[in-house]
Homo-oligomer: A and B are copies of this chain.
């Protein structure tokens, strides 16, 4: 049994390789919901959708989000009406949000709705939101940004999409985390897993919310020897997104070693890129076993190769 702790695009890419080397029915993906948002009254779960769309072979390979060959009739019309279109929801993508919102309104928990959507997309692996309870990543801006004063606190998508994550951040917190309960099956899956993979997702805003749900981090610490992290930082830079800047802004080091030190309490092993081989001794000195391998996933085949490295590292 394998458990993957997942954010969005980086996680989805690794998982697209993992399902080639591990029976998907043996995989449980625990996904970040701190990025979730309410937009136009709809419940949008960007990381869950990125994982599901990618594994269903439906994702847009260029953007990393949304659906391939998407149409934009609704957004185009909404733009004509003067509505908010900074967060672009494609026509087919919208059906996912309509479905999710309707089922949640009917009382189904997010984990149940996510299972229904994954099943409707033909997925055999289990996709679990880390919690069914509200969990929202909130960032305090360190400087002024268009429409926001320095020091103001914004939702994740305001930072990530509306502000194109091109603003310095002074702090991050996970609203709702202290009272959130792990979704049914999350702790059981982590507790019973042979391998726990921390996907190459943003350590602060993608894995951070997963770890912030009470019980998850404690259990990972107890199972530290089973945890293999994959560094999302290669040669000091994030392959995608603002992970490198966020790490520095929050007092960490934007390097595979910085990630290793951050994850050290609960990850026994970290896979770092060949370009970062020189960091291996420092990582080992921090008490984390460094495994060096190609980690840049340019294709599903490369993701499958990386998945084999992860599995080997787990023993």
Q: Report A's interface with B, CB cutoff 8 A.
A: 38-43, 71, 73-78, 80-84, 91-92, 94-99, 101-102, 104-105, 116-117, 120
Contact = CB atoms under 8 A, between A and B. Distances in A.
Q: How many copies does the complex hold?
A: 2
B81 A95 contact: yes
A92 B120 contact: no
B105 A41 contact: yes
B117 A81 contact: yes
B98 A83 contact: yes
Given A41-B43, A42-B40, A43-B41, A102 B74 contact: no
A55 to B, nearest CB: 16
Contact of A80 (B73, B80, B120): B120
Contact of A41 (B42, B83, B91, B92): B42
Given A40-B98, A41-B102, A102-B41, A120 B81 contact: yes
A108 to B, nearest CB: 12
A45 to B, nearest CB: 13
**Secondary structure class of chain A's binding surface, majority of residues:** helix
A14 B99 CA distance: 37
B78 A95 contact: yes
Contacts of A102: 39-41, 83-84
A73 B91 contact: yes
29 contacts: A39-B102, A40-B42, A40-B97, A40-B98, A41-B42, A41-B43, A41-B98, A41-B101, A41-B102, A41-B105, A42-B98, A71-B71, A71-B73, A71-B91, A73-B92, A74-B91, A74-B92, A74-B94, A76-B95, A77-B91, A77-B92, A77-B95, A77-B96, A78-B99, A81-B99, A82-B99, A82-B120, A83-B98, A91-B91
A97 to B, nearest CB: 8
**6 A-B pairs with least C-beta separation:** A77-B95, A41-B101, A40-B98, A73-B91, A78-B95, A83-B99
Given A80-B120, A91-B91, 16 more contacts: A38-B105, A40-B98, A41-B42, A41-B102, A42-B98, A71-B71, A71-B73, A73-B73, A74-B74, A74-B91, A77-B91, A77-B94, A77-B96, A78-B98, A81-B96, A82-B99
A83 B95 contact: yes
Contacts of A99: 40, 78, 81-83
